[in-house]
Amino acid sequence: MTVEAKKETLGFQTEVKHLLHLMIHSLYSNKEIFLRELISNGSDAVDKLRFEALSNESLYEGSSDLNIRIAFDKDDRTVTISDTGIGMTREEVQDHIGTIAKSGTKQFFEKLTGDAAKDSELIGQFGVGFYSSFIVADKVTLTTRKAGTTEAVRWESAGEGDYTLESVEKESRGTEVVLHLKEGEDEFLDSYRLRSIITKFSDHISLPIIMDKEIPAETDEEGKETSAATIEDETVNSASALWTKSKEDISDEDYNEFYKHVGHDFQDPLTHVHSKVEGSNEYTLLLYVPARAPFDMWDREAKHGVKLYIRKVFITDDAEQLMPRYLRFVRGVIDADSLPLNVSREILQKSKQISTIKAGAVKKVLGLLKSMSKDADIYEKFWAEFGNVIKEGVIEDSKNKEAIAKLLRFSSTHTDQEKQDISLENYVERMNEGQEKIYYVTADSFSAAKNSPHLEVFRKKGIEVILMADRVDEWLISHLTEFDGKQLQSVAKGELDLDKLDTEEEKKEKEESSKDFEAILKQMKAVLGDKVSDVRVTNRLTDSPACLVTGDHDMSLNMERIMKEAGQPMNMMGMGGTKPTFEINPIHALVTSIKNEQDDDRFADITNILFDQAILSEGGQLDDPVAFVHKLNGLLEELLK
């Protein structure tokens, strides 16, 4: 067949050029990983062919020989990696290699620091295996033909500003990558060197990785050749799926290298779980927790994560069918023995067996995290990367809510440190005698939470308060209303039930203050009008003059600010539809001085200033900051007269 020449030169996407430059300089010290990455790509291509061929055997094109072949040519100074997988069309080559069509790309590049060691970790998480070719090659030629088609395409580039695409002939399906080595990279033109890399990084690949093996000529006793030297195929790797082996036969290094293959990561994982479930619904799982969050963890459309195999045949990597969204960082494989090979993705979505497997896998992961939490140092690293994602589990997974709640970590007034290392179990163990609730405060930053005026009475009484400053916390606490039989209570909602912890003297002072301020409270309520639902004497404050409180069942002011930023309609105060209660501190000098104020206008100005200050202390925004400043300046001028 003659292919009409159709060659064009195209420019790399800007991000690709940036990435190539970073990769060559950041990963050079670990340059042998190029072979691992290209073998992994070939393995993925064969997996995809296997799956597609379940419903269309003609894709095998008369040959079901599935393998990866490695070859080298000392004269041409090339290394060639070829596979018999699914192959690519011209459009797919352009999409997958010429551009980086991934959401989160901008955020990825913003994280790059210029530090080679740190950037190499990020680059590995981005999943850019093919580009690692340019660490050792100054030109790469890729030739590929999609299974079921007749047209092949050749992609070629020196890894600089552009690449060429042209239509060519190729006898069989699959992809061939030829690396034209740079000067100084001759170590990869050695059979032993290549075999050692394959054994180190890719021994777990479940299909044969083949290299030529030279069989020397045979000679008789007199030294005469009786047969010529020949070349035979030799399978370099063990070619058996790692997860099917006994755990006793797998080293930690084997587990780590397999993770790097399935996770497209350059770092070792934090931990893993390898388990075989027997019975009517048999399956094996090998799941990993990465050391770092993937760059696209907050892309809820991302589908990669856990791969499903049926008797070692790849079926899908649509992670949501195998792992809930809050565990989307988990990587690995699940191999089901009892599912039919011809199962479709649509059938999988409705399969009770898959639901059972998913439930079992989730319990295994949660159990793994529980075990990991016993090591404070390791769990601290995990929580820093994945804590906010785990919090989603309380919201999404009601069946496992109790188990997930035990995994949560927070900041609190116990240490006043931003580091989240305090569990709810820790909190309960430290609860004061007579304390019945778990107290928390939410804010839009750790500093705002730590310095909230609502904490004043709790600090005075030595009652620990959990400090919540992550956005997901507002949704978290709406679903986590109790823990270990103890109700979670916001310190900024409702009337505080701290009477049991008060001394008799404190109780008497509160009663007298309420009576003493009855007239003032009514006058303040008249001034503030529809801005508040009520005005009352507080038992929350010791140092601040006033604060705002919402009802037990009302949306918090912090949540309303979040909703406002999301485009939800707000009222003129900028705090939503909830009318807060305005609480005043009867022992604060500003409040006691207003009792004797005879000028109604001055009384109104002071009341509004106190109210606006309370809004600001909650992290809110004033509807009319100019008016606030004008009133405040007016009072200051009078003081200076």
Architecture of domain 398-499: 3-Layer(aba) Sandwich (3.40)
Considering the domain 242-372 in this protein, what is its CATH number? 3.30.230.80
Considering the domain 8-214 in this protein, what is its CATH number? 3.30.565.10
pLDDT of residue 471: 87
Residue 122 has pLDDT above 60, yes or no: no
State pLDDT tens for residues 553-586. Answer: 777 777 777 666 656 655 434 444 678 999 999 8
Give the helix/strand (H/E) hosting 72. Answer: strand 68-73
State pLDDT tens for residues 178-204. Answer: 999 999 999 999 999 999 999 888 887
Q: Which of 143, 175, 216, 190 is nearest to 69 (CA)?
A: 175
- What gap in Å lies between CA 610 and CA 61, rounded to an integer? 80
State pLDDT tens for residues 40-63. Answer: 889 989 988 988 888 888 999 877
Residue 124 has pLDDT above 60, yes or no: no
- What gap in Å lies between CA 456 and CA 447, rounded to an integer? 15
Strands 581-584 and 546-549: antiparallel
State pLDDT tens for residues 627-640. Answer: 888 888 888 887 77
Could you tell me where the DSSP H helices lie in 442-539? 446-450, 456-461, 472-479, 504-516, 518-528
State pLDDT tens for residues 21-34. Answer: 776 766 667 788 88
pLDDT of residue 575: 46
Virtual torsion, Cα 32, 38, 43, 47, nearest 10 deg: 150
pLDDT of residue 301: 63
pLDDT of residue 264: 80
- What gap in Å lies between CA 549 and CA 534, rounded to an integer? 10
Answering whether pTM is above 0.95, one says no
pLDDT of residue 351: 79
State pLDDT tens for residues 517-539. Answer: 888 999 999 999 999 999 998 88
Residue 460 has pLDDT above 60, yes or no: yes
Strands 411-412 and 225-227: unpaired
pLDDT of residue 565: 64
Q: What is the pLDDT averaged over residues 272-291?
A: 93
Residue ranges per structural domain of the chain: 8-214, 242-372, 398-499, 517-640
Q: Terminal CA-to-CA distance of the chain, rounded, Å?
A: 100
Least confident of 101-115, 209-223, 456-470: 101-115
Superfamily of domain 517-640: Heat shock protein 90, C-terminal domain (1.20.120.790)
- In whole angstroms, how far apart are CA 213 and each of 195, 200, 283, 422, 434? 11, 19, 37, 59, 78
Tell me the three state secondary structure of residue 422.
Answer: strand
Q: What is the pLDDT averaged over residues 498-510?
A: 65
pLDDT of residue 101: 45
Tell me the three state secondary structure of residue 498.
Answer: coil
Widest Cα–Cα separation across the chain: 127
